[in-house]
Chains A and B, each alone.
Chain A
Amino acid sequence: MSRVGIVGIGHTAFGRRSDATVQELAFDAFAEALHDAGLERDAVDASVIAAVPEYHKQRSLAGVVQEYLGLCPKPTWLVEVACASGSAAIRTAWLAIRAGVHDVVAVIGCQKMTELETAEVLALMGRVGEVQWESCFGTTFPAYYAMFARRHMHEFGTRPEHLNGVAVKNHHYGALNPLAMFRKEITAEKAAASDPVASPFHVYDCCANADGAACVILASESRAREMSTRPVWLAGMGCGSDSMSVLRRPHLTGLPSAERAAAEAYAMAGVGPRDIKVADVHDCFTIAEIMAYEDLGFCAKGEGGRFIAERESYIGGRLPVNVDGGLKAKGHPIGATGVSMTYEIAKQLRGDAGERQVPGADVGLTHNVGGIGQYCFVQVLARD
């Protein structure tokens, strides 16, 4: 089976973007990716848009993005699986290319989250969980991950310092990323002293809603070789799901959907966790990064706290993770996040990450989670 290559990448600054509509942000990311690929717009056969609809006043977002990008009448469609929409969109583009239906597909993740009124945000936050038996008790997005954290602490001795360590690391790298929402270092003391959200979480355990867009242009192997001297390959594509309800999960100390997606991606790529040189994982909350280390096999189950405490996920450690700042410092425009991860790892594999460059990065990984693990997509990326 022929491979699918990444031939162009683009990314707007993430944050509060009061200067642009969502399609204007999408335009920036798409134009940059086209330029990066050295392609004319006509070369794009189709687009896949990743966005979570309930944040936008504009209904059916793919139409307005397609129009603004000037891609009509080419095919387009919207993909949504909560915070994993970006990776799901990449997966559908990959499927279309593998099926031989399209040769060149632009995947655009775009989201504006800061235009909603606080009341609307609070109402959405209260319907993150399974609504019949859980949201009716006032659960929130942080509350679920907080319950994962509490159980992880109970079973494995993970400590609040470990959670704070993830926030400190990701802000450290966010400070070096010009596209990040928060470009300042924080201390563990500041993280620990921030306002309570859902125990044991404080504000600095949580990522922030943001606006932004990212784009990757994918091409079939033959087209990728024609148009790019340094394509990055989607070498392994894994995907899994799990129950909406935490009441139906086998355990609450990790995400079984991630374990499955990782196993599938590693098998397809013919690599293992020890081959990964750099990774972007879904740190929507600090515990989520610690669980990701374990679910992805970067360390043994229960060792995630130690992994960050021993700085194994810093550049120079065993496996640098989220050296773009992660969701935590880069911001989390949910439709764009998965595409942003692939953008970052492609950049690392090309050797273009500047002062955040991981030396010798030839194989990388993305891990994009939807909701509280209902969906997970793992990609292994490789260069020639």
Chain B
Amino acid sequence: MFKWFGMVNFTPYTRVAEFAAHLKDGRIMASRCSACGARSFPPRADCAACMAREFEWMEISGRGTLHTFTTIAAAPTGFERYAPYTVGVVDLEEGGRALAWLGGTIPSGEIAIGMTLQLVPRIEEDVEEIRVFYSLERPGTTWSKAGAATVGERQAPPAAAGARRREQV
């Protein structure tokens, strides 16, 4: 089921595959090591702190502070139709960090490092396969309010953006 996760998925199989099922049900989950209690977001099955193999799921609020961001004009394969889109890194209140798109509830002119945001579960429904992800939204936004597939469509692409860019590694 982890193949559901992400706009484009590169890792269909993982020990934390249930994350995607939780996300589909509207929950953002971190992992907690059963042995030492170390939390991780993104979740991981094998504890980085004590190397124990057992973990449990722990729901988190998804609230966090914007650490940094960038608006990508030159998009990679699979993302061309969304460009330009803005990705941000948030420091989560409950520990760890997340990288996600800034969603439709955040006007591009208001994006600033240090602002409070919330990671909100999202389901893209206009595709044949199940596609779940999360976006960074105004705090208090629920997954139903964030709507489906609005991410990336709030900015009109500038003419020929990236068309003359040099190829990057």
Bin chain B's interface residue count.
Answer: 35 or more
**Is residue B5 within 8 Å, beta carbon to beta carbon, of the partner chain?**
yes
CB distance from B88 to the nearest CB of A (A): 8
Q: Of B6, B14, B165, which contacts A195 at CB under 8 A?
A: B165
Q: Of B7, B10, B72, which contacts A127 at CB under 8 A?
A: B10
A138/B168 in contact, CB under 8 A? no
B69/A150 in contact, CB under 8 A? yes
A147/B69 in contact, CB under 8 A? yes
Q: Which of A113, A138, A284 has the largest number of chain B CB atoms within 10 A?
A: A138
In the bound complex, what is the Cα–Cα distance between A44 and B41 (angstroms)? 50
Q: Of A132, A197, A200, which contacts B74 at CB under 8 A?
A: A197
Q: Of A132, A142, A143, A248, which contacts B11 at CB under 8 A?
A: A132
Q: Is the interface of B mostly helix, strand, loop or mixed?
A: loop
B85: nearest chain-A partner, CB-CB? A138
Interface residues of A (CB under 8 A from B): 83, 113, 118-119, 121-128, 131-143, 146-148, 150-151, 154, 195-201, 203, 206, 208-209, 245-248, 252, 284, 332, 334
**Is residue B70 within 8 Å, beta carbon to beta carbon, of the partner chain?**
yes
B99: nearest chain-A partner, CB-CB? A134
A371: nearest chain-B partner, CB-CB? B169
- A138-B82, A208-B167, A247-B98 given; A150·B87 CB < 8 A: no
Could you say which residues of chain B place their CB within 8 Å of the CB of A252? 67-68, 89
Query: What are 11 sample pairs from A and B whose C-beta atoms fall under 8 A apart?
Result: A126-B77, A131-B11, A133-B98, A136-B5, A137-B6, A140-B74, A147-B70, A151-B113, A196-B162, A197-B73, A252-B68
In the bound complex, what is the Cα–Cα distance between A247 and B90 (angstroms)? 9
**Is residue B1 within 8 Å, beta carbon to beta carbon, of the partner chain?**
no
In the bound complex, what is the Cα–Cα distance between A98 and B129 (angstroms)? 56
Residues of B73-99 whose CB lies within 8 A of A: 73-79, 82, 84-85, 87, 89, 96-99
A139/B10 in contact, CB under 8 A? no
In the bound complex, what is the Cα–Cα distance between A133 and B89 (angstroms)? 12
In the bound complex, what is the Cα–Cα distance between A245 and B44 (angstroms)? 13
B162/A136 in contact, CB under 8 A? no
Could you say which residues of chain A place their CB within 8 Å of the CB of B100? 137
Could you say which residues of chain A place their CB within 8 Å of the CB of B163? 195
- A122-B76, A199-B71, A247-B42 given; A137·B165 CB < 8 A: no
- A138-B78, A197-B73 given; A150·B167 CB < 8 A: no
